[in-house]
Structure 1
């Protein structure tokens, strides 16, 4: 159901983001190690920066998952009700 208020009532697919973050984490660690061993310092640094970004995202996703159904509602929780008075 589209109400036009999706940006304020949107929910994130946190479990999907968790698995994508884990996939990115594994590749960033592998890329950092592989490029460092191959002597490609620039690429190793780029993968290391990506590793930090993925770790920060993974931390945030895990935090939101642990906060419970407010951030990750289950199938038994209905969608948010549209606001009574839309914001201009």
Structure 2
């Protein structure tokens, strides 16, 4: 697919920021679920428990991507994809 000119050439994923936000979401949703459960509000407790579960799944995915190395968390000198090789000449 050709470039349209609007997307970044070498986009980076801010995985550590996403990890921090997912941790905050896990803590707040978990605390809210416990609080609502103690106040006998099972609907709200279940909703916040589901959000906490989604945050926990996101944490697992982000940690996996961070551990996979520079393909998912490249530095300035490492492209996020395999560089394009020049076409081979036919002899």
TM-score, normalised to structure 2, is: 0.74
Q: Which runs of 5+ in 2 are unaligned?
A: 86-91
Query: Structure 1: which 4+ aligned runs deviate by more than 4 Å?
Result: 78-84
Give the 3 Å change call, closer, same or farther, for CA 70–82 of structure 1 in structure 2: closer
CA–CA separation in structure 2 for the residues paired with 1:80 and 1:3: 19
Matching of residue 48 in structure 1 with residue 49 in structure 2:
yes
Paired position in structure 1 for 2:38: 37
* RMSD, matched Cα: 3.2
Q: How many residues align?
A: 83
Larger Rg: 2
Q: Which runs of 5+ in 1 are unaligned?
A: none
Q: Which moved more, 1:73-82 or 1:8-17?
A: 73-82
CA–CA separation in structure 2 for the residues paired with 1:10 and 1:78: 9
CA–CA separation in structure 2 for the residues paired with 1:79 and 1:5: 18
